[in-house]
Amino acid sequence: MLVFITGATSGIGKSTAEIFAKNGYDLIITGRRQERLTALKEILESTYKIQVLDLCFDIRHLNKVEQAILSLSAAHKKIDVLVNNAGLAAGLSTIQDGNLLHWEQMIDTNIKGLLYTTKFISNLMIENKKGHIINIGSIAGKEVYANGNVYCATKHAVDALNKAMRIDLLPHQIKVTAINPGMVETEFSIVRFDGDEDRAKKVYAGLQPLHPDDVAETIYWVASRPAHVNINDLVIMPSIQASATNVIRK
C-alpha cells in the first residue's frame, strides 16, 4: 500500500507519515524543505523497513506539481491514499487591512495547490480503479471568525471541493473524506505570524490543543476502514474548544 502526503515536513503531515509508516505503508512525502524530507525518509525507512520517496516542490506551481506526479515510476503511480494536507494561514487581519500577498499565498496553496495535486493523482487512481483522497480542511471551513476571512474562505473552498470530488469520483469508486481539525499545535501559528514564536505560543497558552498525532491517528483510522465504508466528513476538536472561538483557558 502506498500513501502520498503533501506537506510532510512538519505538523499533521509529518505525524501522518509516521503513523502510515508504522503500519507498513510505503510513502511519497512532499514539501519545500529538502533537508527535512531527507531526514524523515531516513528515519522512517530505517525504523519501519518501508520505502519512502521524497519529492521537493512547491504545490503552488502547476508545472512542478504536474512534473513531480507524471514523472513517477509505474510502481509509484499506484497510489492508494492521497492526503491533501499542505496548507497555511498567513496573517490575521480585517479585510480592509489585509495583506494581498498573504491572500495570494493562502489561495494558491490551500485551494489551487490542492486542486492541482488532486487532478493528477485522481487520474492515476481512476486508472488503478481504486483510491482514497483525504482532504485536510479545518473548523475554519465550517465557521468564520474575526480576521480569519481569507483563510476561512480557503477552507470553506476545501469543504465544497471535498463534497464535489466525492460526487465526481463516485463512478470510479474513489473514496473522498474531509478531516476538519480545531486547534492543533504545529508550526501553523508560527507561519501565520511570520515566524513570531512568542505570538504563536500565546495561541495555545493555558489550554491543551490537539497534538498532530491525534489528527494523524484519525486520518489513519479513516483510511483503514473496510472497502464498503467511507467517512465523508469529520470534525476533530480539542476538548477545551467548542467552536472556532469558544475555548476554555486556565
Question: Could you give the residue numbers annotated as active site?
Answer: 151
Nearer CB in complex with ligand 8X3: 91/131: 91
CA-to-CA distance for 53 and 37, rounded, in angstroms? Answer: 9
* Strand locations in the chain (E): 2-5, 26-31, 52-56, 81-84, 132-136, 175-181, 233-236
Q: Which of ligand 8X3, ligand NDP, none interacts with 31 (beta carbon under 5 to 8 A by kind)?
A: ligand NDP
Q: How far is the CB of 118 from ligand 8X3 (least distance, A)?
A: 19
Nearer CB in complex with ligand NDP: 79/247: 247
Q: Which of ligand 8X3, ligand NDP, none interacts with 104 (beta carbon under 5 to 8 A by kind)?
A: none
Q: Which of ligand NDP, ligand 8X3, none interacts with 244 (beta carbon under 5 to 8 A by kind)?
A: ligand 8X3
231 is a contact residue toward ligand NDP (CB under 6 A): no
Contact 115, 168 (CB under 8 A): no
91 is a contact residue toward ligand NDP (CB under 6 A): no
CA-to-CA distance for 27 and 119, rounded, in angstroms? Answer: 19
149 is a contact residue toward ligand NDP (CB under 6 A): no
Residue 60: strand, helix, or coil: coil
Among 1, 45, 53, 58, binds ligand NDP (CB under 6 A): 58
Nearer CB in complex with ligand NDP: 91/212: 212
Q: How far is the CB of 35 from ligand 8X3 (least distance, A)?
A: 26
Residues 56-77 as b/e (b if ≥16 CB within 10 A, e otherwise) read bbebbeeebbeebbeebeeebb
Q: Give the other-Cβ count within 10 Å of 236's Cβ.
A: 16
Backbone φ and ψ for 157, nearest 5 degrees, come out as -65, -40
Class of residue 153 by CB neighbours under 10 A (exposed 0-12, middle 13-18, buried 19+): middle
**Where on the chain is the footprint of ligand NDP (CB under 6 A)?**
6-13, 31-33, 58-60, 85-88, 109, 113, 136, 138, 181, 183-184, 186-188, 191, 212
